[in-house]
Structure 1
Amino acid sequence: MTTSRSPCSRSPPPSRHTTRRTFVTRTPEFHGAVHQNLYLAEGGREVHAVITVDAQGDAAVQNTSPQAAEVLILDCSGSMGSPAEKIIQAKEAARAAIDELPDGVWFALIAGSVGARMLWPAQPHLVLADPETRAEARDALRGLDTVGGTAIGTWLRLAGQLLGGHPEVIRHAILLTDGRNEHESPEQLRAALRDCEGKFSCDCRGVGTDWSVAELRTISSALRGTVDLVVEPAELAEDFRAMMASSMRKAVGDVGLRLWTPVGATVRFVIQTAPTLVDLSPHRVDSGPLTGDYPTGSWGTESRDYLLGVELEPGDVGEEKLACRVTFVHANTDGTELPLRQFFSHTEPDGRTNEFSSARIRALWTDDLTQSTVFNDKVAVVTSRAELAKAVQDGLAAHRGGDPDQAVDCLSRARKLAEQVHDDNLRARLDQIYDPDTRTFRLNRMSAQEEMGLDIESTKTTPLDRG
């Protein structure tokens, strides 16, 4: 009897899969600007500032190892088969993502239910992409059946095991689910995230409306990815293709925002405010007596904004202090740091512009109220955006908690803030559930799709105008 070779019975990959190739990578330059009101009132303690950052492609350098590793994590729990269109389109989406993989990228497929198993290859390791391995992975999707429940932490742990073995490359996963994490405790999921943090980034997608935005946002925030709603299964393939293409454009991984503060200063918050709103404060890792690193994930050619808050001991009127200093760092696999080219512009009160290799946030105490009471425009916009997201999420939480009055109050404030900061997308979603005749929100008629879409949209933002 003749048997065909199955990827699920393969021993560790032959030498053609592990041959190192020469890749060209581009380490971006980081160009940033500091926006703040330099002046604090007499006795003032807290300094707020916005740092806008644009990563731009730099000169090519040779790298003798593959530059990327990808894992697709597909929910194959029983609910993915009802209706069957979900699992059918999930397979098509995975095939579309596989087709985007260039030769020489490490990859694997995971099937997730109450546990995690290798869908391809059979053994828990990554394989280098080439025409043959891409075809084998596509074929393996035919055998993906739907059965069991959902324990996302086990899926992430297996992905971390696979990707953690390749610290020299940019590591990324795509996770697709249609349900809630009902077969493990919240603490089990949090423990899995602690184990996976720093090993890879993860973009999360929920198909349908039976999954939890809060759960996937927790995952995407911890693993520096995105979360989004795919209402129609037929839309999955294009979304997967776009996510994979975006991942392939990343040029440097494991970038940290390093924040130095002087003795006696306290960091109140570090928040990424664009392109998605993510509080980085809980993820700080001390890197020295006066420094802490906040992981920002992988970067390509892109723009991001950050809002920082630092508390200082008050100075005397006329005294100036350095409140904090920001640089971006990348750690090599041997623990050394890869220098990143970076330049930050600072505009002085008299209009002069200086450029430094770090972002310097300062404080100058004054008794002139015309100086200390002026709000920096960009700080005001970013702060309002953060308040907008909180107002939406507080309103939805009040609605789910059975407090319609509080929900209406919060969403009304959100609607005003959305108009104030010119967030047309979020304003449009709020208007979908707003009744102009009664001047209130039709919460009892809000669909699950509308609620989830509003929740997700609340944390999506556009980088500030660089002018």
Structure 2
Amino acid sequence: MPYDTTLFVHVDEPDLVPDKRVPGASVKLLAQLKVAVFDQARGEHADPGQLALIIALDVADHRRERMVAAVRDALTAMPSGASFAVVTAGAERGGGPVRYYPAGPGSWAPADRQHRISAAFAMGAAPLAADGVPRSFGYDGWLAEARRLFAGCDRTLCRLLLVTDGSTGYEDASLTAQLAACGAEFSCEVIAVGNDWDYQPLERIAGRLRGTADAAGPDFAAALAAAVRRACRRAVPALPLEVTVRPGVRIESFVQFTPEHLELAADPPSGPYRHVFPTLPWDPAGVTSEFLLALRADGAGDRLGEELQFAMVSLGSLHEAVTARWRDPRLPPAPTASRTNDETTGESSRLLDSRHRMIMHFRRGLEALRGGQRAAAESHLGQAAAGAHQLAEGWMLNEIGGWGDIHDAAAGSVSVRLPADAHRVSVALLRLGARSASRGTSRTAGRQRPAGPCPACAEPAVPGALHCVRCGEELS
């Protein structure tokens, strides 16, 4: 294989305690995963001989001048030796997307100097949708054309770059069916051009097709060139994470924290216990991707005090077990071993789970704002504010403050301003995954305190934490 992989699984709370009050109740088990994939080419981008890129231009005719400039910059950003094609709306009224460059059935253009010049020149006459004319195809049409073109391509790294100004409508059922049909055939980078339209379907497309989405103004050349470089840098083909659970265990959630924060959805299960999760294409530099796996375990019939395997995580040929043990609820907890400063600066699975719930409440609060639902928005944003206060996530408090007033962050008391700007909400949701993954700067706005265990329950705390994520005790 042209790459090496590493897989690390850690359960930092291996003792599961059944609830004495509710016999047979399930218990949550959290496991951290760290994955790195090293491309042996060790370059700034993937092997150009394996790259195939489609630039799909779903924009109206009045954007032609800026579109030509954007395509020119995007072609310049491609490494020599890659193959590319440009797809535009069909020339016939009501026609679907078709390949415009290069001409000829089944052909792809090499990203050499001559084809870059020819393609950029040809864009001046490319068929684009007429201004104000509704299109009879949706996003599923663009995805279907990409699938058709990639099916006739012998390259292993297939990337779609979809540039859209929102003129294309969509139907949930058609888009859902097409996303399912795409499987892991290619990844998709999405550029949203212009304002005052709903970015919601783009979140779904980028999330399901293991890409990223970015919002750009009228001049989208820089955003498209950056998306090309990002797509070319991800050098490893589809390499999904597989989770196999034992009977009596189910997956509650599987969250990727870096490089993008998103909740992963499993492909249709191949059996009752095996689940396959598509992930973002791996970065060739070996940048570590972090995940949190939350399981629900039923302890009926399990012996107490013995290490048991609850799940198996697989990445290619690598396999790691998720193990824990049931503790007798009548016995006191085992003493927690003291941790070094290096260990306490890491994030425990409980803290990651709290952070994920904070972000999910913020996302649901924004969705409620978009729908004009005051009570739901204030409830979710209030819970996000309470989580941000506990975790000292100052950036989250600043985000919430942009949508209303925080009266008491610790108590989760928030009031919102309605009506909310739907476009602002769309932009915030589109960028939330990348923003919330930037943990290196996430706490700079909060009060900094030294790292150390909680004085009440000895739970480790990260620098800047104000309250314990386990018991809520104020940290000193």
The equivalent residue for 2:449 is: none
Deviations 1:308-330 (A, max 9, x none): 1233341222122111121212x
Query: Matched residues in 2 for 1:155 and 1:282: separation?
Result: 23
State the one-letter code of the partner of 1:186: D
The equivalent residue for 1:30 is: 6
C-alpha change, 1:160 and 1:373, in structure 2 (3 Å) is: farther
The equivalent residue for 2:381 is: 411
Secondary structure at the aligned position of 1:36 is classed as coil
Shift of 1:447: 3.2
- Relative contact order (C-alpha < 8 Å, sep 6+): which is higher? 1
Contact 2:52 2:157 in 1 (8 A): yes
1:98 equivalent among 70, 75, 84: 75
2:197 equivalent among 208, 211, 215: 211
Matches within 5 A, 1:63-462: 66-76=49-59, 80-81=60-61, 84=62, 86-112=63-89, 115-125=96-106, 126-144=108-126, 145-147=128-130, 148-150=133-135, 151-166=138-153, 168-179=155-166, 181-182=168-169, 184-230=170-216, 232-234=217-219, 236-286=220-270, 290-300=273-283, 301=285, 302-314=287-299, 315-329=302-316, 357-367=318-328, 368-371=331-334, 377-435=347-405, 440-444=414-418, 446-460=420-434, 461-462=436-437
Q: Relative to structure 2, which stretch is displaced further, 375-384 or 401-410?
A: 375-384
Query: Matched residues in 1 for 2:67 and 2:48: separation?
Result: 31
Query: Matched residues in 2 for 1:428 and 1:395: separation?
Result: 15
Contact 2:313 2:321 in 1 (8 A): yes
State the one-letter code of the partner of 1:99: T
C-alpha change, 1:256 and 1:48, in structure 2 (3 Å) is: same
Shift of 1:176: 1.4
State the one-letter code of the partner of 2:399: R
> Percent identity between the aligned chains?
23
Contact 1:34 1:359 in 2 (8 A): no
Deviations 1:363-419 (A, max 9, x none): 111124535999995222322232223212322232233321321222232233344
Contact 1:259 1:327 in 2 (8 A): yes
Deviations 1:250-292 (A, max 9, x none): 2211111022323443333323233323332342542x77533
Secondary structure at the aligned position of 1:389 is classed as helix
Query: Matched residues in 2 for 1:369 and 1:178: separation?
Result: 60
Contact 1:429 1:454 in 2 (8 A): no
Query: Matched residues in 2 for 1:311 and 1:442: separation?
Result: 35
State the one-letter code of the partner of 1:111: T
Contact 1:180 1:212 in 2 (8 A): no
Query: Matched residues in 2 for 1:194 and 1:188: separation?
Result: 10
Query: Matched residues in 2 for 1:420 and 1:304: separation?
Result: 25
TM-score (norm 1): 0.77
Secondary structure at the aligned position of 1:252 is classed as coil
- What stretches of structure 2 of length at least 5 have no aligned partner? 19-23, 338-343, 441-461, 464-476
